Structure 1
Amino acid sequence: MWRKASAAALLALAVGYFYHGSPDLPEQILQYIGLPNFQSPMQSQNDQNSLEQVISTAWETLITLPSRQWSKVAVGVNACVDVVVSGVGLLQALAVDPGTGLDHEVLHSKEDLREAFIHYMERGAAAERFFSDKEVFQMIARAAAEYPNAELYVGGNAALIGQKLATYPDLMVLLCGPVGPKLHEMLNEEIVVPPTSLQETDEFHLILEYKAGEKWGSTQAPQANRFIFSHDVSNGGMSSLETFVASLEEFDPELVVLSGLHMMEGQGRQLWEERLKEAVSAILDIPQDIPIHLELASMTDKDYMNSIMQEQVIPIVSSIGLNEQELLFLSQAAEGPHAEMDAWKGIPDVGRVSDILLWILEEHGRSDPLSEADLTRIHFHTLAYHIMATVDGFWGNQAAAVTAGARVASSQACGLQSVDVSKVELKAPLEFYSSHTEPREKLTLNPAEPVAVWRRGNVTFHMTPVLVCKQPLRTVGLGDAISAEGLVYSELKQQQPL
């Protein structure tokens, strides 16, 4: 009891020292830590640092492993080698001049690449595209590999998730995908790769990164991000999916993580329609008692996304992970809430995000007890905050799971093993609404207890801020690390037979 009182007193003194005169803290938070709401015209940098410190310290208390942990996880099916370079630098080396941006669903030339890169750079948004011309792609890939300071990394959502999961010593990980010699050499030695997944050559993906404030011509990036493209036939056709499913019987996992569906989009409608049906058939062969997490990624074809959502994949998986672009596009494709929006403006509104998450679980998940859908969990992540939305009765430890995801985003973006509060900043709103429309609840995020919780129907939402890295070193794979970490700390509740 004395320790608790002392901790509260120390917190009040620390925050009081830094926040004396701050008009920016909501009244509820000031009352919680026992400070008056003094008015002052200035707020020092130390003020902001203290908030980050309070949140980071609170995370460490909140993040605890569940009582029932996964011991074996199978991950598939996209894997490759990422070649990471400066986007502006590479395009300049290719003798491409800056100009106006224009999105392309599929890239056919260097000009398409330039236009699509500028389109997303000026928005500070991530995107991934298929490059149709094999010879031109190989020429660009050679230039990228020879570019000064080019770096090679493990790539592909499945391989990146597998790499993150393999850092937990008591967790056995199976990775299935097109694994070439270079990728095999780079993988964590604890990862099990079936012999049928090994191939003679690697698949390469080019990652064009840009920094916050970086300029090219008249374009300036509002935040750091990356543009990804490839000519990847193996991953594009999810050629390893059947091999993956066949390997599950011997491996006997407790959780399956599936990714790579977005790679099929660039293959053309006729091919993806047929292949998607085969993919669904393969997924249905996975024993029903094994939960499946689906990791989504950037897509542009509304018909393809609609097929994944309405009648094909999403209803037969237990969990999905996605970012703000994928969430809005998913709603646009199926004419869900806020589908009239072209894009998010600034930090995505929590109320609008909450509306779309609820709609997915009600219309395409198991929020309705009579529904035959399996989807009960959505892990949403954006730069400033994360939300975990779960149907009541299916998942536990979600406050720890969502904060673990936020913590890894804060540390990994800065290239660190733990959060350094001097290198991060709070961008999440401290006050927001549970919905964009009535009835809605006004919520306050308390930095000392940095998980806001609300319910809508039988869906519970857990939201936590991200301490955003001021100068990120690498943005690729953050979403995969976030989802992997969230899964490690999640607990699937045992269901009573009907």
Structure 2
Amino acid sequence: MNFSIQIKWTLLPAIHMSTLGIRIIDSFYKIESLSQPKPVSKPGPLVLVGFGGCMDVAVPALSFLSGLNIEPPPSLQSSPAPDQLETMNDITVLFSHSFSKGAAFERTVKNKKLFLQLVEAANSGKHTKDKSVYIGGNAPVMANRLAKEGLQVALAGRLSNKMKSLMHPHVKVLQAPPDFGLTDPPTSDIHLVLEFEKGETWGNYTAPRANRLILIRDQENPMISGLWPELMQSYEKIHFDLSNRKHNQPDLFIVGGLQTMSSFLADDGPDIREQRLQALNDFLINKVPPRTLVHFESASFDDAGLAGNIAKLILPYTDSIGLNEQELPSLIELLKYGKVPLNPNQSIPRVATVLDQIREVWALLTDQDLPRMRFAQRTISRMHLHTLGFQIIIVRRDPKQLDHETRTRLMNEFFGPEGKLKDAMITDLGRGWPKVKAAAAKASLTAYRYTCAEAHVHPDPDRTKILMDDSFSVTADRERWPEAGRYELLKQKLDRVYFNSSNPVQCWYEVEPELPNLEGGTRRNDRRSPNGNTYSNRVKVVQICVSTGLVCEQVQKTAGAGDNISAAALAVQAAVMDN
């Protein structure tokens, strides 16, 4: 592995692209091309995506608020982010926090009348001429991207006829039969997207980056109405291209949109959200095949009770998580303290800080001494953090990277005398997520292409910049994470990583992050597998890849960016699990 740098660039606060930038873009394109051999000779992996969706109504925030005669608060020090959105003043204060920090947030408007008035104002076009309407929601957006990337995709969700018409033609839409008791078709839930650009000013505030505040008040999505007991049987009846396959079960199951459950209100009817989460928990335990990898796409939560139930009922049955720089520290707060912070975090964090936060979440979701994880059927084997300035993907790595003696011992623990795989999950072998470097590169390219609304392969250097430093530390807290960047079997000892313009994605191995013992140090004791077996002296190693971000200078769209980025990376790493 080459961690030297040939040409350094100073990136604080940012640089515009030049000859150096063109070299970086070409390097990304090369990595992407190598991961997608053409022509494609085999059908893509099978993917099931859930649940629900919405119609996004996006407006330029400042012109929209100005048309409503809304003025910014003079100071945010005396105006903390509100716990609930009941009044226009609550929305104004929350938007000011989002705008001033360049942070993306999605929040429920409790006042139904106010929400409908805002949606009507946006749809009328009286206050802004630049309204956009498109399909939204984690599940439909990710399904469309995966189909565009060549995977075979089914979407579980009750969609309106309008939403169905906006789905990729190769996405198969599954919904519950009439005897499940739901009327058809439903009315589309609406999300109001208030978008702002970098450098815009509003009163005393200046946006440090382009982003958005999303206001919601869903009625369909909180019920997870795309989930019913026979969903998997319906999926297996779809006529996919099963060439060179032994089964028609999904290789990947993606769960998204659960944050919309917080928008349920008492006047919407009986509160069955916990019942529906229990149904999803049962589906993950009893209906999703063990060979199917499960990805959870996180989002911005404002309900600690709901988020706590998701942490208890969903995360212990998940292999992979996708999230952004605001959601990552919120997840730590949730897992450690059961709280959900409502104030936006900084939108452009340091790489070392984020790496340590990822290690913290990884340790909290893989330690089976914790009550939440004690009966987990899966443990996290992949995380993808997508930010404006960079992409980070961490995976449990393949034992073939280890020395022969260690590899032989580990294989004997997983395979019987006839070479049959024992009950351990394939991700415990580190084989579930190939092409990490290519996935990180794909994520960076997709982030640029989506936000700049450019479909062509090469980003335009004149519309592109880079925010990352020329180097970064592998940890901001060496005392807490003494093994960060360390892996003795490969004689690897990293403290700082320098980027190479011809290799903008840098990867390394390190010992899997673990929680500290109460006496100090880390837990190097035996670990149980998801099926209860003990792995004696398990070798635990992860691979981390950090990719430079290509930042669009002329942002056309921000809502849905994270879903497209996450899905594009998954499209690279998804594999036919027959093998």
TM (norm. structure 2) is 0.72
**Higher relative contact order, structure no. (Cα contacts within 8 Å, ≥ 6 residues apart):** 2
Deviation at 1:406, TM superposition (A): 0.7
- Give 1:85-484 correspondences, 5 Å limit: 85-99=59-73, 100-101=75-76, 102-147=80-125, 148-168=129-149, 170-194=150-174, 196=176, 199-242=185-228, 244-245=231-232, 247-251=234-238, 252-267=249-264, 272-284=273-285, 285-309=287-311, 311-335=312-336, 344-345=345-346, 347-365=348-366, 372-392=377-397, 393-394=430-431, 395-417=433-455, 418=457, 419-438=459-478, 439=482, 440=484, 441-457=495-511, 458-484=541-567
CA spacing shift, 1:250–1:365, aligned 2, 3 Å: farther
Contact 1:66–1:491 under 8 Å retained in 2: no
Decide whether the 8 Å contact of 2:251 with 2:576 is kept in 1: no
Specify the code of the residue in structure 1 equivalent to 2:35: L
Change (3 A) 1:295 1:333: same
Residue equivalent to 2:413: none
Cα distance change on mapping 1:301 and 1:53 into 2, 3 Å: same
| Distance 1:128-1:247 versus aligned 2 partners, 3 A rule | farther
Structure 2 distance, partners of 1:494, 1:365, is: 23
Which residue number in structure 2 is paired with residue 9 of structure 1? none
Match of 1:65 among 23, 30, 35: 35
Query: Which one is further off, 122-131 or 105-114?
Result: 105-114
Shift of residue 109, structure 1, vs aligned partner:
2.4
d(CA) in 1 for partners of 2:124, 2:347: 36
Rounded to whole Å, the distance in 2 between the matches of 1:437 and 1:152 is 45
Give the Å deviation of 1:149: 2.1
Aligned-pair CA distance for 1:264: 1.4
Aligned residues with identical type, % of pairs: 27
Question: Which stretch shows the higher mean deviation, 271-280 or 252-261?
Answer: 271-280
Residue 225 to residue 246, structure 1, CA distance change in 2 (3 Å): farther
Higher mean alpha-carbon deviation, 255-264 vs 192-201, is at 192-201
Tell me which residue corresponds to 2:56. 82
Greater shift, 252-261 or 404-413, is seen at 252-261
Deviation, 1:347, is 2.8
1:384 Cα offset (Å): 0.2
Which amino acid counterpart does residue 256 of structure 1 have in structure 2?
F
Counterpart pick for 2:21 among 28, 33, 52: 52
Contact kept in structure 2, 1:52 and 1:467, CA below 8 Å: no
> Shift of residue 188 of structure 1?
1.9
Higher-helix-fraction structure: 1
| Deviation of 1:93 (Å) | 2.4
Deviation of 1:318 after TM superposition, in Å, equals: 1.3
Alpha-carbon displacement from aligned partner over 1:339-371 (angstroms, at most 9, x marks no partner): 999865463222222222223233313899x98
Cα distance, 1:233–1:366 mapped onto 2, change above 3 Å: same
CA deviation profile, 1:202-250 (whole Å, cap 9, x unmatched) = 2111111011111222222111100101111111232222375563343
Name the SS for the 1:193 alignment partner. strand
Contact 2:102 2:346 in 1 (8 A): no
SS in 2 for 1:192: strand
Residue 3 (structure 1) aligns with: none
Structure 2: which 5+ runs fail to align?
A: 178-183, 239-248, 398-429, 485-494, 512-540
Contact 1:379–1:483 (8 Å) recurs in 2? yes
**Aligned CA-pair RMSD:** 3.1
- Structure 2: distance between partners of 1:473 and 1:249: 39
Residues 297/341 of structure 1: CA separation in 2 closer, same or farther (3 Å cut): closer
TM-aligned CA deviation for residue 268 of structure 1:
6.9
* One-letter code aligned to 1:489: V
Q: Tell me: CA distance 1:454–1:303, structure 2 relative to 1, closer, same or farther (3 Å).
A: farther
Q: Give distance in 2, aligned partners of 1:215 and 1:178.
A: 40
Partners of 1:246 and 1:414 lie apart in 2 by: 40
Corresponding residue SS for 2:199: coil
Relative to structure 1, the CA distance from residue 175 to residue 106 in structure 2 (aligned partners, 3 Å threshold; closer, same or farther) is farther
Partner SS state of residue 228, structure 2: helix
SS of the aligned residue for 1:334 comes to: helix
Query: Residues 252 and 292 of structure 2 are in contact (CA less than 8 Å); yes or no, is this contact kept in structure 1?
Result: yes
Q: Give how far 1:420 is off.
A: 1.2
Q: Secondary structure at the match of 2:142?
A: helix
Q: Distance in 1 between matches of 2:506 and 2:57?
A: 38
Q: Shift of the alpha carbon at 1:273?
A: 4.1
Matched letter for residue 29 of structure 1: I
State whether residues 331 and 361 of structure 2, in contact with CA within 8 Å, keep that contact through their aligned partners in structure 1.
Answer: no
SS at match of 1:329: helix
Aligned partners of 2:187, 2:198: CA distance in 1, in Å?
A: 35
Paired with 1:316 and 1:230, the residues of 2 have a C-alpha distance of 28
Q: State the Cα distance separating 1:405 from its structure 2 match.
A: 0.8
The answer to whether the Cα contact below 8 Å between 1:105 and 1:301 also exists between their aligned partners in 2 is: no
AA of the residue aligned to 2:140:
A
Q: Does structure 2 retain, via aligned residues, the 8 Å contact 1:154–1:186?
A: yes
Structure 2 letter corresponding to 1:327: L
Q: CA deviation at 1:70?
A: 3.8
Contact kept in structure 1, 2:4 and 2:499, CA below 8 Å: no
Residue 381 of structure 1 deviates from its aligned partner by: 0.7
Deviations 1:1-52 (A, max 9, x none): xxxxxxxxxxxxxxxxxxxxxxxxxx9423xx6xxx9x99xxx978x42232
8 Å Cα contact 2:157/2:175 also seen in 1: no
Task: Tell me by how many angstroms 1:153 deviates.
Answer: 0.7
Q: Give the gaps of 5 or more residues in structure 1.
A: 1-26
User: How far apart are 1:493 and its partner, in Å?
Assistant: 8.6
Distance 1:120 1:443, change over 3 A: same
Q: Does the 8 A contact of 2:251 with 2:577 survive in 1? A: no
Native 8 Å contact 2:393 2:436 kept in 1 = yes
